Amino acid sequence: MSIELEMMRLQNRAKRDADVRNALLETRNEEDPYKAFCDTAQKLGYDITLFELADMGQAFCDAMMRSVNGGGRDNFEIWTDFYEMFFDAIK
């Protein structure tokens, strides 16, 4: 299953289940929040790895740049943080 689909499934569950949402939100307080997020997601049955989470934004930006033959001039930094967008959506 793709990382995008797994993130969407987890996000939908977190919106419906306060315990899951709180467990995920608590990962932000860990020393390594990205790893803690992935570990928690995996314990909940979602195949989300640290590498895939980090690569998700880069892959999106790469596809956007290919779609405009390298002519895109927008700053993609604001579009690539799917991790932060995930938490914005479940709050």
Residue 68 pLDDT grade (very low, low, confident, very high; cuts 50, 70, 90) = low
Please indicate whether residue 34 or residue 73 has the higher confidence score (pLDDT). Answer: 34
Please indicate whether residue 31 or residue 75 has the higher confidence score (pLDDT). Answer: 31
Which pLDDT score, from 0 to 100, does residue 54 have? 81
Residue 83 pLDDT grade (very low, low, confident, very high; cuts 50, 70, 90) = confident
Which pLDDT score, from 0 to 100, does residue 3 have? 87
Q: Say if residue 77's pLDDT is above 90.
A: no
3-state secondary structure 51-79: HHHHHHHHHHHHHHHHHCCCCCCCCHHHC
**Nearest alpha carbon to residue 46 among 23, 67, 69, 30:** 23
Domain positions in the chain: 3-90
Which pLDDT score, from 0 to 100, does residue 59 have? 67
